[in-house]
A and B are shown apart, each in its own frame.
Chain A
Amino acid sequence: MRVDLDTYHELLETLLRNKTRSFLTGFGVFWGVFMLVALIGGGSGMKEMLNNNFEGFATNSAIIWEQPTTKPFHGFRKGRMWVLNTGDLQRLREQVPQIDVISPMANKWGVQVVNGDHKFNANVKGLLPDYAKVEAPKLYYGRYINDMDIAQQRKVCVIGKKVYKSLFPKGGDPCGQLVRLDSVYYSVVGVDYGGGSMNINGSAEEAVCIPLSLMQRAFNMGDDIEMIAITAHKGTAISDITPRIREVIARAHDIDPTDEKAVMVFNTEVLFGLMDNLFEGVDLLIWLVGIGTLLAGAIGVSNIMMVTVKERTTEIGIRRAIGATPRTILTQIISESILLTGVAGMSGIIFAVLILQMMELGFTEDGIVQSHFQVSFWTAIGAAALLAALGVLAGLAPAARAMTIKPVDAMREE
């Protein structure tokens, strides 16, 4: 197209001559793009928010815990209570080679932790260092429980975020300070800021973690264990080894190996699979709705342009009579379409980016962005390219009609 100021002047003039119509037509495209971009951004933000709940959790892990039996076995009635013990760890280790990490946990709710005047009702977990591989801690200060702590039965603890804030309201590194649990003093070795909403035995934020063997002695638990967390080797699906795990444990405790209620094996893999499916569905829906709305907008543009061309038959005919080539007319109509979709669409992108930015600000805590709603630069570029293409497509049909107008037809239409 020849670069001539009047070309653009003319385009603008045509669109502005019918402001309301141009605006309403443009609004369809505007809304389509807004929906598409906002949904993409919003969708990925929501996904991230949900994923935050599972933050730090190994995806191929399972948790085993005990419940009353539901089937009679070996002469025992159903409904009998039983308890996991340290022996089960050894049995799993030896008989189910696919398991990578085996990490037992003992647990006691509502234990008061005291530091001077400050108190907190915490949830005490007895753990082994391996547990970090199941639920990764985010250490803000210090370190996690290590093998030396276990071997030497050191009285140490790692405290959660809320415990730390309550016991040490002035802040600062609490490592090396002593806190009292019941009647025993423990030295703080680390502060764990981890804390997704997916928790085992209570939130990590409200927990005090101490070595397992120490816990069993300090709270008179013998060798009882509350639960066992395991992760499988890479390439092994937890669901494949679940029956084997259940069988190994059940045999040692005189439980029917098919009693799924008694030996609960909670497979997080299933949960993650569910989430993935959910998001695939949501993604599909986003694209369907977004593209659909955008298409509807573009079709609206095409339609209105069609009417405009019809209305301008005489004008186009005059132009053709005094020397406009079909190409000129084609360029003019398609340019109008591109300009309309372009301006409306760009406003849509800008508006969506603004809204997403506001959402992102809304989900920011302490200057840390919790969830990224904003679309990437390239997504925006992609949307713009899509718009340009749609603009051309929307202009095609009306332009084709305009091309068929012969100068003679126009004169006839008096």
Chain B
Amino acid sequence: MQPIMIHLEGIHKTYAGAQPLHVLKGIDLDIAEGELVSIMGASGSGKSTLLNILGILDDYDEGDYYLAGTLIKNLSETRAAEYRNHMIGFIFQSFNLIGFKTAVENVELPLFYQGVSRRKRHQLAMAELEKMGLTDWAQHYPNEMSGGQRQRVAIARALVTRPKIILADEPTGALDSKTGIEVMELLKRLNREERITMIIVTHDPGVAAQTNRIIRIKDGVIEK
């Protein structure tokens, strides 16, 4: 058994409001290092909330969340930003690249926030783009690229900081099936070759079937 990367224990989350919404009702989950896991569930099941908590984008009300042995709880915004920056790589459905920055500048951005020197981060970003086969596209802006290329830039951006986990929110959702398959192949290869723990949120059973383990969420709890 591999060492545990993610350990969730009794996670509860309620969104306050006129009608408080109890979204997560006690989630217990362990994910080992190097695993490729998919999270499935209908919309409104709480899978996005779970992803936000895993990504330290959102706080939770009850329970404990350990990421690589570190308790992630009641963090200040600054601490949360630091952990996100160092430990987590995000891949979004809509790529979320910054439109007025070139591909290489987008990939450099997390390193910029880490305080890596200018030359060093350019080097690292270029190396990452090369792995994605995008060396020639480094100086192009996102709107000059295809969806598959953009997602590969986003993957390069997620990987450039050598994160402990990759969180992918519907990574193939905005792509046509052929490109979607390519991106999945890429993610699988990264998981296999670089031993990066990967969590993919998806609707698509085809995508989920390619992962080691499927976690199904329904009404705020994990289905057994």
Q: Which residues of A contact B (CB under 8 A)?
A: 2, 4-6, 13, 17, 314-315, 318-328, 406-408, 411, 414
Contacts of A318 in B (CB 8 A): 96-98
Residue pair B96, A411 in contact (C-beta under 8 Å) = yes
Q: Which of A6, A13, A323 contacts B82 (CB 8 A)?
A: A323
Q: Can you name 27 A-B pairs with beta carbons within 8 Å?
A: A2-B115, A6-B108, A6-B112, A17-B100, A314-B96, A318-B96, A319-B109, A319-B113, A321-B57, A321-B84, A322-B84, A322-B109, A322-B110, A322-B157, A323-B82, A323-B110, A323-B113, A323-B161, A326-B81, A406-B57, A407-B57, A408-B52, A408-B57, A408-B58, A411-B57, A411-B96, A411-B169
CA distance A13 to B101 in the complex (A): 10
Q: Which of B85, B100, B115 contacts A322 (CB 8 A)?
A: B85
**Chain B 87-127: CB-based contact to A (< 8 A → 1; otherwise 0):** 00010101011111000000011101111001000000000
Q: Which residues of B contact A (CB under 8 A)?
A: 52, 55, 57-58, 77-78, 81-82, 84-86, 90, 92, 94, 96-100, 108-110, 112-115, 118, 157, 161, 169
Least CB distance, B207 to chain A, in whole angstroms: 19
CA distance A322 to B96 in the complex (A): 11
Known: A17-B100, A315-B98, A411-B96. A323 touches B81 (CB 8 A): yes
Q: Which of B58, B94, B99, B113 contacts A324 (CB 8 A)?
A: B113
CA distance A324 to B86 in the complex (A): 11
CA distance A326 to B92 in the complex (A): 21
Contacts of B97 in A (CB 8 A): 318
Contacts of A13 in B (CB 8 A): 100
Known: A13-B100, A327-B78, A408-B58. A322 touches B94 (CB 8 A): no
User: B77: nearest residue on chain A (CB-CB)?
Assistant: A326
In this complex, the member of A323, A406, A411 whose beta carbon has the largest number of chain B beta carbons within 10 angstroms is: A323
Q: Which of B84, B99, B108, B118 contacts A5 (CB 8 A)?
A: B118
Q: Which of A324, A408, A414 contacts B81 (CB 8 A)?
A: A324
Q: Which of B92, B98, B118 contacts A6 (CB 8 A)?
A: B118
Least CB distance, A54 to chain B, in whole angstroms: 62
In this complex, the member of B55, B113, B161 whose beta carbon has the largest number of chain A beta carbons within 10 angstroms is: B113
Known: A315-B98, A408-B58, A411-B92. A323 touches B118 (CB 8 A): no
Q: Which of A6, A325, A411 contacts B78 (CB 8 A)?
A: A325
Residue pair B113, A328 in contact (C-beta under 8 Å) = yes
8 shortest interchain CB distances as A-B pairs: A323-B85, A323-B113, A325-B81, A322-B110, A325-B78, A407-B57, A326-B77, A318-B96
Q: Which of A322, A406, A414 contacts B90 (CB 8 A)?
A: A322
CA distance A319 to B105 in the complex (A): 12
Contacts of B96 in A (CB 8 A): 314, 318, 321, 411
CA distance A320 to B96 in the complex (A): 12
CA distance A273 to B125 in the complex (A): 74
CA distance A234 to B100 in the complex (A): 73
